[in-house]
Amino acid sequence: MSKADVLLGLQWGDEGKGKIVDVLTPQYDLIARFQGGPNAGHSLEFEGTKHVLHTIPSGIFHADKQNLIGNGVVIDPIILNREVEKLLEKGVDVSKNLLVSRKAHLILPTHRILDAASEASKGLSKIGSTLKGIGPTYMDKTGRNGIRVGDTELPDFKDKYEFLRNKHLELIRLYDYSDFDLDKMEQEWFESLKVFNRLPKVDSEHLVNTYLQQDKKVLAEGAQGTLLDIDFGSYPFVTSSNTITAGACTGLGIAPNRIGEVFGIFKAYCTRVGSGPFPTELYDETGEKLRQIGREFGSTTGRPRRCGWLDLPSLRYAIMINGVTQLIMMKSDVLSDFDTIKVCTSYRYNGELIDYLPYDLLSGKIEPIYTEIKGWKTDISTCKNSHELPLEFLNYVQFIEQQVNVPITILSVGPDRSQTMFR
Ligand code: GDP
Ligand code: IMO
Ligand code: MG
């Protein structure tokens, strides 16, 4: 019996999960998304084309590998259909290698409206949600009101839908929110459901465990990042699911003792999109330089991402929570033009030196303490082998490894599949 490996983000999302899942897929039989929904935007590039996936696992470009949307995921059939169609235009037919869990929950049009109404009511303290209906859908899941994929196969599906929709409309009235055209949204939703219904539905926990029993290799693909986790992220500025390794257990039905390698992925610096605390954020031209060179604009919403230096206390925290066994460092090439690179090793918090993330990041004053590292000032994006990398860059890698005590086994130096080095 084999164990499932997990790959997930250690920061605030957009670490480059899509790219690395695609690179690792040849080593696996099944790639499975375990949580989140179309708030995710996973990009990958090969043969000169960039692809962005929101719901479909990033193993989809390998026709001989199965891809599963697990029970922990929330699905908007409209967005999923658009993804399926876009892939078809590029010659990728998902009908043979994409499976959907019956226990995954559906995002209804009124979930999206509730998301928008809730954000509008918060004014300046809004979460900065992607407005895909994620929060309201997970609220209905834990509130035991949700509609699941399997319900679409049952005779009372329409009744269930109308009951929940009407309940939502009452809530929306309380928000005094009217900026929507529900008829149009519903028409599109039911239309897309026809296509969605053709995708194979499975009892995914059995499927995943059968793969493991048959010694086949399973990779669980994370979405978002550890610092957006509902329990351990910078609450309330988080998403509404468990983005951590434990989420792969509940989001796929994998027992904790059947988890193998945990690949923790991080950028060589930090970014965050949406609101919430970000201790190493740069508001100056250095932040702007990171954003421009790193093309830091959201894959889902196009919003500019906030940028800052690498934050080791929060990275150590994420490694601890997830049980990370191997690290993957992304976008190292973005730092190639800096004379000096800063790394936050601890914080000064309300006048005291600490090396962990404190509970109250909002009213307390947190100031990063930096170590400065000499930059390499050489283009590394064409390096194919770690022996070709400049010494200053290897020093940066080694410094991080020593600080967090986990090996960095994969280095990414550009968005393309080929710009990846194994150490
Ligand atoms: P994900 O959500 O974790 O899959 O990450 P996103 O796809 O949202 O964001 C990562 C962005 O960085 C995408 O535009 C990728 O094409 C790009 N990218 C990934 N790895 C690298 C890298 O090593 N260097 C550079 N310059 N870009 C990268
Ligand atoms: P991937 O998988 C970056 C952020 C949003 C917002 C907060 C809550 O591409 O890394 P939500 O729509 O979940 O209610 O938004 O979480 N967020 C992400 N940020 N990458 C993501 O996914 C994200 N998914 C959600 O910007 O701050
Ligand atoms: Mg993304």
Residue 225: CB within 6 Å of ligand 1?
A: no
Mean pLDDT of 75-95: 96
Residue in 10, 105, 232, 239 to alter for ligand 2 test, most ligand atoms within 8 A of Cβ: 239
Name the active-site residue from 42, 51, 54, 168: 42
Task: Pick the residue whose CA is nearest to atom 18 on ligand 1.
Answer: 415
Q: What's the 24 CA to ligand 2 centre distance in angstroms?
A: 23
Instruction: Please check the confidence at residue 301 and state whether its pLDDT lies above 90.
Output: no
Mean pLDDT of 355-362: 89
- Which residue ranges have their beta carbon within 6 Å of ligand 2? 9, 12-14, 36, 39-42, 127-130, 132, 134-135, 223-225, 228, 239, 273-274, 299
Q: Which residues, in sequence order, are CB contacts of 398 under 8 Å at separation 6+?
A: none
For residues 219 and 7, the answer to whether their CB atoms sit within 8 Å is yes
Q: Which residues, in sequence order, are CB contacts of 241 under 8 Å at separation 6+?
A: 35, 36, 72, 74, 134, 138, 224, 229, 230, 247, 251
Which long-range contacts link 352-356 to residues 24+ away (Cβ below 8 Å)? 354/313, 355/313, 355/316, 356/313, 356/316, 356/317
Distance between CA atoms of residues 51 and 58, nearest Å: 10
- Catalytic residue list contains 42: yes
Q: Which of 77-81, 162-166, 213-217, 357-361 is predicted least confidently? A: 357-361
pLDDT of residue 368: 97
- Catalytic residue list contains 14: yes
Residue 288: CB within 6 Å of ligand 1?
A: no
Q: What's the 93 CA to ligand 3 centre distance in angstroms?
A: 23
Per-chain mean pLDDT for the chain: 96
Q: Are strands 4-9 and 259-267 parallel, antiparallel or unpaired?
A: parallel
For residues 305 and 288, the answer to whether their CB atoms sit within 8 Å is no
Instruction: Please check the confidence at residue 111 and state whether its pLDDT lies above 80.
Output: yes
For residues 85 and 112, the answer to whether their CB atoms sit within 8 Å is no
Please identify which residue in the block is written with the tokens 């809004």: 126
pLDDT of residue 300: 76
For residues 287 and 306, the answer to whether their CB atoms sit within 8 Å is yes
Task: Pick the residue whose CA is nearest to atom 11 on ligand 1.
Answer: 16
Give the dihedral sign, CA 186/191/193/196. Answer: negative
pLDDT of residue 16: 98
pLDDT of residue 364: 78
Mean pLDDT of 302-328: 97
Mean pLDDT of 179-189: 97
